[in-house]
Amino acid sequence: MNIGKYKLHSKVLLAPMAGTSDKPFRMICREQGAGLTTSEMVVIQSHLMNSNKSKHRLDFSSEKSPISVQIAGSEADELAESAIKALEFGADIVDINMGCPAKKVCNKAAGSALMQNEKLVEDIIKNVVKSVDVPVTLKMRTGWDDDHKNAPMIAKIAEDNGIQMIAIHGRTRTQKFKGSAEFTTIKKIVNQVSIPVVANGDIDSPEKARDVLNFTGADAVMLGRATQGNPWLINQINEFLTDGSNAEEPSLEKKIPQILKHIKQIHEFYGHKMGTQLSRKHIFWYSMHLDREKGFAFWPSINRVTDHSEQYSKFQNFLYSI
């Protein structure tokens, strides 16, 4: 699949996820064969540039090209300015967020709230595409609610105005992450546009990825929450889609060094205090994936640890005890 001049060598992409798809996690997912990883959504405005959050979200040093940066906002000019600034931080691809269902985002008429206003969607896409000379992509949902599944209409607007790839999560904004993702709307979009379409939502196994691609005709799948604690799923799906083989998960012996390397990278990237706090969710996800019963028993003993060395040591001991 191509996005502009960039040829992706895998049909498995990592979804932009606030609080998850940061630099350390993107790098581990690239190592597992993700064809593209997209940053957490970022609002690139001058008054926010000195915040730690912006500094970390806009650090792409040492990452492989193409670098995809997701921008968020509610106004066409604001998003165009963010797109221009994203290039200064190394973006090869700019992704527009019209998929986030979070209340704090939607209350600002950003994220999936934009789907309620198709004229604004068109203005945003036109302005962003015109403002940069790199490919612009779009991430959205199937619509606002079950009575307003307007993703096919927005997909056509996107194609007509220069968007070069669309990723669709198979839920409406009002569903958030409840219920099951549906792929009929994505299939409709695939049948009416000629640009690449990526299917997203509840893809948690190689077989599910295959079935979704076969049903929708999409060009690729995008994995989100299923990678939390299990980035190896990317490689499993890759191998299954490539040659039909059922790739087994790596042994625990192989996983442990990769997990500990990830935790160490978080500590180093964010600094010891913040890194210890942000490692907790990954430790929880890894623990649940490896052994739910032991993970639940272990969690209270590490959840409140504030020293990075103690956290690392405790987690290391737990991993080798499984």
Q: Is 100 a catalytic residue?
A: yes
Task: Say what angle helices 206-216 and 232-243 make with each other, to 10 degrees.
Answer: 50
Gap between the Cα atoms of 227 and 246, Å rounded? 18
| 258, 28 Cβ separation under 8 angstroms | yes
**Catalytic choice (83, 100, 138, 154):** 100
> For residues 251-264, b (16+ Cβ closer than 10 Å) or e, as one string?
eeeebbeebeebbe
Question: What are the helix and strand counts (H, E) for the chain?
Answer: 13, 10
Gap between the Cα atoms of 11 and 3, Å rounded? 12
Cis, peptide link before residue 196, omega less than 30° from 0: no
Element (H, E) at 272: helix 272-290
Gap between the Cα atoms of 99 and 177, Å rounded? 12
Comparing CA positions, the residue from 144, 137, 55 lying closest to residue 92 is 137
Gap between the Cα atoms of 107 and 113, Å rounded? 8
Gap between the Cα atoms of 133 and 60, Å rounded? 19
Q: Which residues contact 32 (CB under 8 A, 6 or more apart)?
A: 231, 232, 233, 234, 235, 238
| 195, 208 Cβ separation under 8 angstroms | no
Q: Which residues are catalytic?
A: 100
